[in-house]
Amino acid sequence: MEPFVLNNKDSGPKLFAIEPWNSYSRSNGLITGYTSRAGGVGTEPYSSLNCAYHVGDNPEDVIENRRRIAEEIGIPAEAWTCGEQVHKSEIAIVTEADRGRGFLNRESAIQDTDGLLTNVRGVLLTSFYADCVPLYFYDPVNEVVGLAHAGWKGTVQKIAERMIERMEEHYGSKRADIRTAIGPSIGSCCYEVDDYVMDRVKVLYELEQGKDEYEDSAYRKAHQPAPEGKSMLDLKEVNRHIMMKAGILPDHIECTSWCTSCHPELFFSYRKEGGITGRMASWIGLEER
């Protein structure tokens, strides 16, 4: 069953909820979700619910869109806390003092980081996408939340594994307790890559051993051959594989089937729209008690 479900409201921002995590929302105050591109105030080519400053949109429209989302999900807008994403694998530990960084402008965001991690209630971790993969992490035992932005570069640098390691090292999380979710991103149906990318993906599967049937099967599941020596890559599946190898139980991983390129009415897509487009936002946090 699809874990990311759209609210389909007639007015206001149209947002996705991670439905299998609703029980954590009720019991622990977990707040999670993902935006569509609908229900905001932006104009072309950023219409309408663009959530990122760096794309060239009117900053006042971005702020208004972020405020609308915050109101819709019932958190103070000032809780919204962002990183300045650079397609790498750095993880920032977010403290109470970081609350609100990056909300009103790009310059105040936590710099040079694609992963955010905290156990502070009242902080909403947020990041931005237009085809890359949003990764959510939650430890219900130690009440820790994390969020990672995984393009192909962050994926092959194993940002998912690095997040799990940081949860374990900094907060004492046990890998068997951690829940993860993989959100809407470009799918293998639309994501064509060359050998430069695939050579780096292959390393993740230890194919040089040539004898591991599981690794070989997992690798074949993550890509399909395409014309002219290219490949169709499933970044969601690659990140799922990394999570499982890092010790996350398969039934603790929620993985969407939504492709951002296939649904331009719902999602911004960097590849489909030629690089000039808005960004969706993901978020995760814990409500103040």
Mean pLDDT computed over every residue of the chain: 96
Length of the chain: 289
- Gyration radius (Cα) of the chain, Å: 18
For the entire predicted model, the pTM comes to 0.97
Give percent of the chain above pLDDT 90. 93
∠ at Cα 72 (19, 113), nearest 5°?
A: 75
pLDDT digits (tens, 9 = 90+) for 207-238: 655 557 778 889 999 999 999 999 999 999 99
Whole-angstrom distance between the N-terminal and C-terminal Cα of the chain? Answer: 31
pLDDT digits (tens, 9 = 90+) for 2-42: 999 999 888 899 999 999 999 999 999 999 999 999 999 99
Tell me the one-letter amino acid at 188: S
Q: Residue for token digits 């759209």?
A: 6
Residue 100 three-state SS: coil
